[in-house]
């Protein structure tokens, strides 16, 4: 039981002992966005500590529960809290829950996060659909022996896999259409991932802007890499909790990240709740 696939199977077994729900859509909630889990109907909440091999979050604002149930009649698995590489976790651990979601039957993953806004027109409190990413964490979650048994779709589970449409254009179009219907401003941008936990320096942010990044954060890209390895479709939504370092002449605080999350919660919840049934219908 020591290889990654067996560990993921053990986690799936423990979850299936608690609920019959076979989730179609997985949702990973970022910092300050955990409140969305209250939308799940018939919820069965399983603490990460009760799931074999599941990593435990050490960050304030990440509660550490897998919430299974339905949204608009669609079976979902919602991760209330994630772990990050900066907590000292290996890539394999950071992405373990994503592997488990895939084995549970999730075919679409909605990844959400708190991010700093690099592009001038991306204001604090805005929601942004991630169009692409730049992985500057210096590592990759698919490192190590390839495991084709993680494939959830035909052609998936390959050693080398395509990332040219990692953030599904169809899902992005759907998100924009729904945001427009609800009158929620939703822009699009490229997310650059850094390791953290320090926020960036102004010089780093200037460099990232030159590289083509619009948003910066410390999560998400590895989950997306693993999801694409498995053949899972991805929608990424960032909540911009602050202007990135040097954009405004102000220091960045984690409390601000949490506060903005609470403020934007209603828009975020409205958007995601409406999107889940649409996603499941395709």
Separation of alpha carbons 94 and 123, rounded Å: 29
Q: Which of 78, 241, 264, 275 binds ligand HPA (CB under 6 A)?
A: 241
Q: Indicate which residues carry an active-site annotation.
A: 31, 62, 84, 86-87, 114, 218-219, 242, 254
> Is residue 244 part of the contact set for ligand HPA (CB under 6 A)?
yes
Q: Which of 114, 152, 179, 232 binds ligand HPA (CB under 6 A)?
A: 114
Q: Are 66 and 96 in contact (CB under 8 A)?
A: no
Q: In terms of Cα–Cα distance, which of 109, 251, 122 is closest to 190?
A: 122
> Is residue 34 part of the contact set for ligand HPA (CB under 6 A)?
no
48 vs 199 by CB, closer to ligand HPA:
199
Separation of alpha carbons 251 and 232, rounded Å: 37
21 vs 115 by CB, closer to ligand HPA:
115
Q: Are 175 and 275 in contact (CB under 8 A)?
A: yes
Separation of alpha carbons 11 and 217, rounded Å: 28
23 vs 217 by CB, closer to ligand HPA:
217
- Name the minimum Å distance from CB 193 to ligand HPA: 9
- Name the minimum Å distance from CB 218 to ligand HPA: 5
Count Cβ atoms below 10 Å from residue 164 Cβ, excluding itself: 6
**Site size for ligand HPA (CB under 6 A):** 13
> Is residue 116 part of the contact set for ligand HPA (CB under 6 A)?
yes
Distance, CA of 38 to chain centre: 18
Two tokens, residue 258: 């949490």
Q: In terms of Cα–Cα distance, which of 53, 34, 27, 7 is closest to 149?
A: 7
How many helices (H) does the chain have, and how many strands (E)?
Answer: 7, 9
Distances (CA, A) of 10 to 1, 95, 109, 132, 235: 8, 15, 21, 33, 27
> Is residue 233 part of the contact set for ligand HPA (CB under 6 A)?
no
- Name the minimum Å distance from CB 97 to ligand HPA: 19
195: left (phi over 0), alpha (psi -120 to 50) or beta: alpha
Contact map string, positions 203 to 232, toward ligand HPA, x by CB under 6 A: -------------xxx--------------
97 vs 217 by CB, closer to ligand HPA:
217
Q: Are 10 and 2 in contact (CB under 8 A)?
A: no
The residue with its CB nearest to ligand HPA is: 116
> Is residue 15 part of the contact set for ligand HPA (CB under 6 A)?
no
- Name the minimum Å distance from CB 115 to ligand HPA: 5
> Is residue 199 part of the contact set for ligand HPA (CB under 6 A)?
yes
> Is residue 122 part of the contact set for ligand HPA (CB under 6 A)?
no
Two tokens, residue 47: 């603490």
Site for ligand HPA in 129-188 (CB under 6 A): none
Contact residues toward ligand HPA (CB under 6 A) are 114-116, 199-200, 216-218, 241-242, 244, 252, 257
């Amino acid at each position: 039981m020591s290889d990654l696939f067996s560990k993921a199977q053990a986690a799936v077994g423990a979850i299936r002992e608690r609920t019959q729900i076979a989730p179609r859509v997985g949702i990973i909630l970022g910092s300050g966005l955990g409140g969305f889990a209250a939308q799940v109907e018939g919820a069965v909440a399983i603490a990460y500590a009760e799931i074999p091999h599941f990593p435990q979050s050490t960050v304030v604002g990440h509660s550490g529960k897998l919430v299974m149930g339905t949204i608009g009649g669609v079976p979902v698995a919602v991760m209330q809290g994630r772990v990050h590489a900066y907590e000292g976790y290996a890539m394999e651990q950071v992405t373990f829950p994503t592997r488990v979601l895939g084995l549970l039957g999730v075919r679409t993953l909605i990844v959400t996060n708190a991010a700093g806004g690099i592009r001038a027109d991306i204001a604090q409190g805005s929601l942004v659909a991630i169009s692409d990413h730049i992985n500057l964490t210096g590592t990759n979650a698919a490192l190590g022996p390839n495991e084709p048994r993680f494939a959830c779709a035909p052609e998936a589970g390959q050693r080398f896999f395509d990332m040219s449409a990692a953030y599904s254009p169809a899902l992005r179009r759907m998100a924009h259409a729904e945001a427009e219907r609800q009158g929620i401003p939703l822009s699009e941008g490229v997310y650059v991932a850094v390791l953290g936990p320090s926020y960036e320096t102004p010089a780093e942010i200037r460099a990232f802007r030159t590289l083509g990044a619009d948003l910066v954060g410390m999560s998400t890209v590895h989950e997306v890499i693993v999801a694409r390895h498995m053949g899972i479709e991805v929608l990424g939504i960032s909540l911009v909790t602050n202007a990135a370092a040097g954009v405004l002449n102000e220091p960045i605080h984690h409390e601000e990240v949490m506060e903005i999350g609470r403020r934007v919660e209603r828009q975020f919840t409205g958007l995601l709740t409406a999107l889940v049934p649409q996603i499941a219908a395709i």
